Amino acid sequence: MRRLLLGLVLAAACAAPAEAPMGADARAARSAHADHASTLTAAQRAAVAQVRAATARFHDLATADAAGYTAQYPAGCARSDAGAQGIHYLNPGLVDATIELLRPELVMYEPGPNGQMQLVGVDYVVPFDAWEGDAAPTLLGMPFMRNEPLGVWALHIWAWRPNPSGMFAMWNPDVSCARAE
């Protein structure tokens, strides 16, 4: 386990308020998010609200860094044809077989203008070699997905950016890496 954690860290190449003012596009996206959120169970909606409360302070990247989210992993801005995930910051001390709703292993940011980073969601990971179950780990009734290249089970919660693909989807078409350096 420590070797995997060290590998994660070595492989890493590298104050907005919780409720920022919104323009018309953001209000429309929030409304669409609320419509999609209605497909969540009451327990899932409550848990996502708890995640938002627990991670609101990480809108400030310096605060996330001070809390241990120091390693960019994987390096760069993650994107695909299905959307993007943004730039991930890992807290190496949280990478193990334990899944804690209010302590995600990674926080995800969308690069913005002038190097600003906007918190868009969180990512939970469990290394393959740390997981002892026959089935995928789950959180809030959602199974984690296998991420073969990184050797982890992973689950996203798009707590801070509406995702038309779903609250727990791997990729978000409303997140962009266009401003990544």
Q: Is 66 exposed, middle or buried (0-12, 13-18, 19+ CB in 10 A)?
A: exposed
pLDDT confidence tier of residue 31, bands split at 50, 70 and 90: very low
Q: How far apart are CA 36 and CA 24, in angstroms?
A: 18
Q: Which residue has the higher pLDDT, 31 or 107?
A: 107
Lowest mean pLDDT: which of 32-46, 97-111, 124-138, 163-177? 32-46
Per-residue model confidence as pLDDT tens digits over 81-139: 999 999 999 999 999 999 999 999 999 999 999 889 999 999 999 999 999 999 999 99
Per-residue model confidence as pLDDT tens digits over 62-97: 999 999 999 999 999 999 999 999 999 999 999 999
Which alpha helices (DSSP H) does the chain contain, by range?
2-11, 24-37, 42-55, 61-66
Q: How far apart are CA 104 and CA 15, in angstroms?
A: 20
Tokens 């949280």 belong to residue: 94
Domain ranges within the chain, ordered by starting residue: 2-14+41-157
The pTM of the whole model exceeds 0.85? no
Residue type, 51: V
Residues β-bridged to residue 86: 78
